Amino acid sequence: MDDKKATPPWAKLGALTPQEAYAWFSAKRLVHSFRWSEVWESEHSTAFTVAGMLKEDLLATVHGKLQVAIEEGRDAKWFEEELTPILQQAGWWGRQDIADSDSGEVRSAQLGSPTRLALIYDVNVRQAYAAGRWEQAQRTKATAPYMRYVTMRDERVRKSHAAWDALVLPMDDPFWDTHYPPNGYRCRCIAEPISDDGIQDLKDAGFKVITRRPKITYVEYEKDGQRIKVPAGIDPGFGYNAGKARGQSLADAQTRQRAALPKAIRDAAEKLPAKQARKP
C-alpha cells in the first residue's frame, strides 16, 4: 500500500495559517547577533535575529515582512522580491566585512542574496508553523495524546529523518524535546497529533506505525570555542521544540522576575488566590 496518502493535506508549507503561528512569531523580540551561533536553539522561541544584521531598522523590516508572509500565506519568492531592493539600498547585500561593536572582531560574511533570503524565509516560517501546530496539539491532548512523525517520503528526505517516519510517541515523551521538526535547514518533516483510534485506523489500513522510542546518539560540534553535543541527524541549533520552548522560556522569565522581588512582596503574592495574583 502506498503510505504517502497518510500524509495530511495541511502538511505542505503554506496550506494554512494557524493563528498560533502568527502570534508565536509576532511576539519575538529583536536581537542583534554577530554570528549565527550567538542565539542558540530554544532562544529562538522568544528572539528574532538574522546573523550579521546589526541595524535594528533592517531587522525590524525583515521581521515585519515575515509577519506578513505568515499571516497572508506569502511564499519565498514574494519575500525575496519585497526585501531585495530594501536591503540593496541599505547596503546589506553581497559578501562584506562586518565588525562586532562589542568585541571589535571583523569577519567576512555573506549578507543579502537570493539564497540567503530563501533560507531566512524557510527557517522562520517553518518554525512558526511548527510552534503553531504544537500549541494546537495541546488543546486536543486529552483525546489525541500522541505525536506522529511524518516526512515527505521522497528522495529529498534525509536518511536520518526517514528513520523516524511513522514514529508515534506520547506527546510528553522527551524525544519531542529535541526531535520535534523541523530538524535542520530545509527540513520538511512535521509532527501531527494522533489518538488511540487514529493509530488503530492506520494499522488497520496497513500503514506503518512505530511505537518504540529510537536510541539517540550524539555528535560533537564546536560552538564558540567549546565542544557541544547534538543529537545525530539534527543540524546544530535545531535540537529543540519550537512550541514547547516558548512556554518554558516565559515560565523561566516569570521565575526570575519573582526571585528579584523583595522577600516580603514574594511572600504576600504567594498567599493570594491564583486569579488575584495574576491581576496587574
Do 106 and 203 share a structural domain? no
Do 42 and 112 share a structural domain? yes
Q: Is residue 174 part of a domain?
A: yes
Average pLDDT over residues 98-113: 94
Do 263 and 227 share a structural domain? no
pLDDT digits (tens, 9 = 90+) for 181-219: 999 999 999 999 999 999 999 999 999 999 999 999 999
Residue 255 has pLDDT above 90, yes or no: no
Q: Is residue 176 part of a domain?
A: yes
pLDDT digits (tens, 9 = 90+) for 36-86: 999 999 999 999 999 999 999 999 999 999 999 999 989 999 999 999 999
Do 252 and 188 share a structural domain? no
Do 237 and 251 share a structural domain? no
DSSP string, the chain: --GGGGS-GGGSTTS---HHHHHHHHTPEE---SSGGGS-GGGGGTEE--TT---HHHHHHHHHHHHHHHHHT--HHHHHHHHHHHHHHHT--SEEEEE-TTT--EEEEE-S-HHHHHHHHHHHHHHHHHHHHHHHHHHTTTT--EEEEE---STTS-HHHHTTTTBEEETT-THHHHHPSP-STT---EEEEE-HHHHHHHHHTT---B-SPPPP-EEEEEETTEEEEEETTS-TT--S-HHHHHHHHHHHHHHHHHHHS-HHHHHHHHHS-HHHHT--
**Structural domain tally of the chain?**
3
Average pLDDT over residues 260-280: 53
Q: Is residue 5 part of a domain?
A: no
Mean pLDDT, rounded, of the chain: 87
Q: Which of 12-21, 63-72, 257-266 has the highest mean pLDDT?
A: 63-72
Do 258 and 237 share a structural domain? no
Residue 12 has pLDDT above 60, yes or no: no
Q: What is the pLDDT of residue 260?
A: 56
Domain extent, residue 250, equals: 244-277
